[in-house]
Amino acid sequence: MQPDNQRRTFLKGLTFTIGSTVFGVPLLSFCSSETEGNTTQESQTGAANNQNRKLGIALVGLGGYSTHQLAPALQETKNCYLAGIVTGTPSKAETWKAKYNIPDKNIYNYQNFDQIADNKDIDIIYVVLPNAMHAEYTIRAAKAKKHVICEKPMATSVEDAQRMLEACRQNNVQLAIGYRLHFDPFHQRVMELGQKQLFGKVQSIRAHNSFVMGGPGSWRVDRERSGGGPLMDMGIYCVQAACYTLGKTPVAVTAKFGEVTKPDIFKEVEQSISWRMEFENGVVAECNSSYADQEDFLEGKADKGWWRLGPSFGYEGKEGETSQGKMNYPNIFEQARQMDGQAASFRNNTPSIVPGEMGLRDVKILMAIYDSARSGGKRISIS
């Protein structure tokens, strides 16, 4: 399982600049925006003030990811800070209030959540709830005129993802998805290798991401809350990896469910699933995700070389190698880099590198994978 209880150093000042996504948006450019002044002294001052202002983030849902990753990351960020929390557990509210010095006026529960619209301290709402709740709280956040970061997967249905996008458009706020690996130097290098064809045309991709589920108590094995099993939780990283390696969307998928060896746990969701993603250039990505195995790697082969990340998808400890040698990149505090990047795009009204449209694309792919597996492996086109 991905470690969630260790801190790593957020290396400030690193700069990475690479290609473009399938949406034609720059994947990442961390050159300082503070050098981009206007010609007049007045406009320079106004721009600097806007660029220097930290945006307030409210975390909605104080589970393990918020507790062990996002809140610590927000102590390291330069463009945003932990301004508020939303929780249904009063004891958690008191603990967080004391630990992070959060004022009472910035603490909400799920009943009074909509009052957050009147709070000028909060610019961004980060939805960190079970998957089935993403749509409701993204839409409510948009109606409160707050920008939104939504954890992956964006939604448990294509229809919900579309409603989320529409709500943000109608309320003139931005929606980004919590795809932290777009901000990680190892994965950025893979994007560069694949999209720029630095080793020639990509021939194939393999991505596996799995961990062993300990018992039946997790919301992740409750279909109503999770929307599915390891595909929705861990497999989405493999879907993402194949897409951003090539900078393309697959044209079709085929899939099959794995054997269920723990029926007491996996009554409602799959225990494991494997699938193939076909791309228009003939590349096939072979992927697998399971709650009964321990795998974590991303591989690519091209005409003139290869690359491998492993561990690849966890929060830290990444290692990478290519046919030319080791990848010498730091393991950064990904969530800090992610939230800083997303806050900068919101603050400067520039397109996110991980927009809601990307989340919708991925939900369409996930649903197609499930359709194929339920049909016994039928090839499903992605539209």
Q: Is the peptide bond before 250 cis (omega within 30 degrees of 0)?
A: no
Contacts of 344 (CB under 8 A, 6+ apart): 33, 79, 350
From 126, 137, 152, 329, active-site residue:
152
Buried b (16+ CB within 10 A) or exposed e, 54-87: ebbbbbbbbeebbbbbbbbbbebbebbbbbbbbb
Helix (H) or strand (E) holding 166: helix 158-170
Q: Is position 237 annotated as part of the catalytic site?
A: yes
**CA-to-CA distance for 117 and 115, rounded, in angstroms?**
5
From 65, 137, 237, 370, active-site residue:
237
- 3-state helix, strand, coil split of the chain in percent (to 5) is 35, 25, 40
Give the DSSP per-residue string, 65-92.
Answer: HIIIIIHHHTTT-SSEEEEEEE-S-HHH
Tell me the backbone φ, ψ of residue 346, rounded to 5 degrees: -65, -45
Helix (H, G, I), strand (E, B), or coil: what is residue 209? strand
The strands making up 284-290's β-sheet, listed across from edge to edge, are 325-326, 320-322, 305-309, 292-302, 202-212, 284-290, 272-278, 252-257, 380-381
Contact 241, 298 (CB under 8 A): yes
Q: Cα–chain-centroid distance for residue 75?
A: 20
**CA-to-CA distance for 59 and 68, rounded, in angstroms?**
13
Give the other-Cβ count within 10 Å of 286's Cβ. Answer: 16
Structure-token match 């981009």, residue found: 36
Q: Is position 108 annotated as part of the catalytic site?
A: no
Contacts of 306 (CB under 8 A, 6+ apart): 199, 299, 300, 322, 323
* Residue 100: exposure state from Cβ atoms within 10 A (0-12, 13-18, ≥19): middle
Contact 227, 352 (CB under 8 A): no
Structure-token match 């005409």, residue found: 303
Please give the positions annotated as active site: 152, 237
